[in-house]
Structure formats: C-alpha cells, structure tokens
Homo-oligomer: A and B are copies of this chain.
C-alpha cells in the first residue's frame, strides 16, 4: 500500500514489493498466488480502512459521514481506490460498507424491496465521482470546486433517497 501511495499502481511490481521485504521476487509466490491476488489484498485493505459512522446519528448524517469518509480514504490511497470499479462487492470489507449504507436507507424509509437498487445507485454515484477525482479527470479543477461539487452530489442523493421513500414518512426539508 505504501508503494502504491507514493509511486502509483505501476510502481507495485513483484520486484518492488520483494525489495521492500528484503527478499527476492520469487519468494512472494509462497504467500500470494499471483500478482492479481496481491492487488485484491490491497483493495480489501482499503475497504477495511473506511471508518464506519458512529451509531445514534440521523440517517442523513450517517450516510453523509460515510460518504465523506470514503472520499477521505480515497484521497489517502488514490492509486488503489479506482480498483473498486473492477470487482463485485462480495468481499467481507465490501459487505461491511454496503450493510452500513443499507441500514441508513432503511432508516430513511425506503421500502425494503427497493433498498438494494437504491444502494447500488447511491454507491455508484459516490464511487464514480471520487474515482474521477483521484484518477485525474478533474485535474483542472480547484479543490474548492471539487468540495462544492461533492456537497451538491450529497444533496442530490439525499433528494433521490427521499423521493424513493414509500410515503411512510414525511420528506425532511433540506436547508
């Protein structure tokens, strides 16, 4: 992970990892099946780094703080984060995050039958924005502009979630 953070994903070679460990590249194959496995491990490490929001918050704040935590983690590991687009969220770390989002959505009043689809769209919107950001698509934009964009994205998603509510609760007015 340290190699990826400082040198990018291309710097994560079997030789670089081996050198970091004071060992020859061939020795790694005793501990990891292939280089793809090593990258999978990196992604899982990233996922377990997302801090889950404290309980007791309103669902809006739970989801909002999780979204911002994901973004902060991505900024810390810009090379590894975009790999999330490539793998189904089936690992323990991925499920942990998805379950947290689902709890927030249930708290919002989204019908149980629609939670999975809403979760997919909300996750994908956050993932797409943050992956764009750390991958370089917004290289010409200021940090201030990106913060504004992200705040608007959060509002868009809260509005979407409220609209997906089955009328069991009154939509909460947003500031």
Contacts and interface: CB of A to CB of B under 8 A. Distances in A.
B173 A137 contact: no
A84 B163 contact: no
Given A117-B148, A127-B128, A136-B87, A174 B156 contact: no
A120 B151 CA distance: 13
A124 interface: yes
A75 interface: no
B136 A88 contact: yes
Contacts of A148: 117
Label chain A's interface by main secondary structure.
helix
Contact of A172 (B90, B149, B159): B159
Interface residues of A, number: 42
A101 to B, nearest CB: 15
Interface in A150-167: 152-153, 155-156, 158-160, 162-163, 165
Contacts of A129: 121, 124-125, 128
A173 B135 CA distance: 28
